[in-house]
Structure 1
């Protein structure tokens, strides 16, 4: 077999992350995707004809943009010769798009691929599967894609009737994690994200979004989700989501990730092709791994995934300078850290916040994290980073990146 080529990451960018029903709600996922793709072309100066394909990740698609990567590419001005497709690995979709792009490049199937992730959870569809067979006696049932996806993600054999929150509470019981520890982690996340914005650390990775409105357009250029005014007292005053059925429940809207809107993208190619196109690589993919586990314990699936990725790279946690572990829930992060033997206040862990503070726009999250860690590494004078996230339904994805 021919030796695999080196895959490098160039120009990772993201839009601001909007709140559910917030400033970006009028903008659909395709428009967010087009915004970040157009910025990618403008900032790099790359000829779009040089791009072989666009891999578009999205967790809540509609048929407004079938084969999401292809449609977004066409709308962003890529030629008809640029292919594209759509993938869904739930919370890991954005990182999977990067990994898929890297595999195409490494094997020589493609030379230049754009990995794209976009999500507008504010516009997730309400749908029916029964409408074509006539109107049922009780009327048509419209399913909310957001809630339904969390209930069905384990299939018929591994039901998750209480969704991801129920899975998080299971880990709370299993690991004995207190509400106070969860709220403390959530507060640190917000403080770090707010500090990053105040210092200008997010500026280079962020692409503003123009939102049309009846009184004229507005420009969104900052994440909506981080809260500068939150406190332990405020977090402690929030009700547990499953509190009615479980008096010991601890997961709240304050110590869990949000439902959000955003897009992110990057170029994946070889060092040689990057040089010929005038691109500057910022990261090199070192290794990656996926793992599966019981859907009811999906929050700790990053443990085996990260362990495998590090083992394949011949590395350990002591070798890492940045650890980007998506904060689906504070309790899930704390459970992973317990298994790894890492401290919750480790400065390498999400130095600029994560899902609890920045938000979790499902299809875009993995690429948002990549854009952030690509800028964190040089700013912190680091060389190696781990990116990993749990995935609803009992999966996880992890990848090790080296600074170029």
Structure 2
């Protein structure tokens, strides 16, 4: 079996909820949910969708579940992928489904998907689930390392690691300087991300096709007391700002006033950085043979995947060598892609990719439904979330080819090319 014999039969994601730097104060839309609930509700919804499409589909045939998650502590510790199976409705996720969890920072969700695709291509099962969850309201980026140093024991990181470690924000600044990126362009792209996300949300009939509404226990937001028997149903992404579409001049005037976040004379600020959010997403993969047996029409199939390491001090550039590997392996070029889906951790790496592969950073193929700056960047979930966005948009616009890429902490990049028949 080849990799292009592996197909996606459904993909779904939660709406994203704001978490921000002070989540307890801001209390975003998903704040009163949990990583367990987000995981459970999304994977159950995915299985229901496939059952609705095919009466012959048997959840007992699901072989494995792979889950991306970066902050593996608290609710997100103890193998969240397997926990998702354990806590789910047994008619949907029987205990026979295995489960594992991966932390490759922002790569994690897409790596979970790719690894499951590779497994099917090797003949190790016909039906697998992959995805990810990140609950940044409780577990911010780097929380597991920070918690370790607060446990009262002596810990020491290797000096070479310390010399070659850098924050994502400073890496974004270094990339902006290296590629000579103008702040006005960085801001223009960021505003455009919001406009696309808002437009996609307003196309309600299509938007809801990939959204799993999340049921959240209702609390009094002033006292944090549970309101028994009452729930909120979250149906839409919280971060996208309609002002960028409805009143663009006002929005850009505000963005110009934002001060650099990571460097006093820098170009990176809150407006051209990704939104910090909570979210989950899940994808079901099958062999083409199994999909045919069940009468399921593939949404898309795999062409090739790649990972690459790069200079950790420029960690956000990792997708560049990963994309080059994908193109070399497939014989395709960037010009062949109908959708280009780079992760918007910050706007600077996205503009750097455009320079490297010689396309306009405002090319309509780039993140047509928005990205991390507008919808948000739930770290270990992002790869699965934007994979879901890409395959649904390929169907929506009748596109044939799409490439998705993400950077990751430590200078790792990942890329995947998908196609539709």
Scaled by the length of structure 1, what TM-score is found? 0.90
Distance of 1:212 and 1:165 partners within structure 2: 34
1:330 & 1:356 partners in 2: Cα distance?
A: 8
The correspondence for 2:62, drawn from 51, 72, 82, is 51
Deviation readout 1:303-348 (Å, 9 max, x if unpaired): 1111111221110011111111111111111111111111011010
Measured after TM superposition, the shift of residue 157 of structure 1 is 4.3
1:118 matched to 2:133: yes
8 Å contact kept, 1:11–1:280: no
Q: 1:83 to 1:325 in 2, by over 3 A?
A: same
Q: Which residue of 1 aligns with 2:223?
A: none
Pairwise CA distance, 1:131: 7.0
In structure 1, the residue matched to 2:78 is 66
Q: Following the alignment from structure 1 to structure 2, what is the Cα–Cα distance between the partners of residues 380 and 4?
A: 24
Report the equivalent of 1:222. Answer: 236
- Report what 1:191 is aligned to: 195
Match of 1:90, SS? coil
Corresponding position of 1:144: none
Q: Quickly say closer, same or farther: Cα 1:171–1:6, change in 2 above 3 A.
A: same
Secondary structure of 1:176 counterpart: coil
Please list, as runs of the form range in 1=range in 2, the aligned pairs for 1:130-141 lying within 5 A after superposition: none
Query: In terms of mean alpha carbon deviation, does 95-104 or 226-235 score higher?
Result: 226-235
Q: How does 1:2-401 map to 2 (within 5 A)?
A: 6-20=5-19, 21=23, 22-45=28-51, 46-64=57-75, 65-77=77-89, 78-124=93-139, 128-129=147-148, 155-160=161-166, 163-200=167-204, 201-213=206-218, 214-215=226-227, 216-230=230-244, 231-243=251-263, 246=264, 248-401=265-418
C-alpha separation in 1, matches of 2:214 and 2:366: 29
How many Å separate the matches in 2 of 1:56 and 1:379? Answer: 26
- Whether the aligned pair in 2 keeps the contact of 1:5 and 1:270 (CA below 8 Å) is no
**Contact persistence 1:5–1:107 (CA under 8 A):** no
Q: 2:4·2:301 contact (CA, 8 Å) conserved in 1?
A: no
**Alignment check: 8 A CA contact 2:4 2:303 kept:** no
Matched-pair contact (CA < 8 Å) for 1:384–1:401: yes
Counterpart secondary structure, 1:96: helix
Does the C-alpha gap of structure 1 residues 187 and 3 become closer, same or farther in structure 2, counting only changes over 3 Å? Answer: closer
CA distance 1:27–1:341, shift in 2 (3 Å): same
Gap regions ≥5 residues in structure 2: 52-56, 219-225, 245-250
Residues 32-64 of structure 1, C-alpha deviations (whole Å, 9 max, x = no match):
010101101111114321101101110112254
Alpha-carbon distance in 2 for matches of 1:90, 1:236: 30
Whole-angstrom distance in 1 between the partners of 2:163 and 2:295? 51
- When structure 1 is superposed on structure 2, of 196-205 and 91-100 the one drifting more is 196-205
Q: Which moved more, 1:356-365 or 1:369-378?
A: 369-378
C-alpha change, 1:133 and 1:16, in structure 2 (3 Å) is closer
**DSSP-derived class of the 1:393 partner:** coil
Contact 2:42–2:281 (CA under 8 A) maintained in structure 1: yes
Measured in 1, the distance between the counterparts of 2:84 and 2:103 equals 16
Distance in 2 separating the partners of 1:4 and 1:223: 33
Give the Å deviation of 1:133: 6.0
Kept in 1: contact 2:9–2:284 (CA 8 A)? yes
Q: Is the 8 A contact 1:325 1:350 kept in 2?
A: yes
Superposition deviation, residue 123 in structure 1: 1.2
The count of aligned residue pairs is 383
1:132 CA displacement: 6.6
Distance 1:296 1:28 in 2: 33
The change in CA–CA distance for 1:184 and 1:132 in structure 2 (over 3 A counts) is: closer
Alignment CA distance shift 1:75-1:278 (3 Å):
farther
Equivalent position SS for 2:341:
strand
Q: Which structure 1 residue ranges, 5 or more long, are not aligned?
A: 142-150
2:259/2:269 contact within 8 Å kept = yes
Structure 1 range deviating more: 45-54 or 124-133? 124-133
Q: Distance in 2 between matches of 1:295 and 1:271?
A: 38
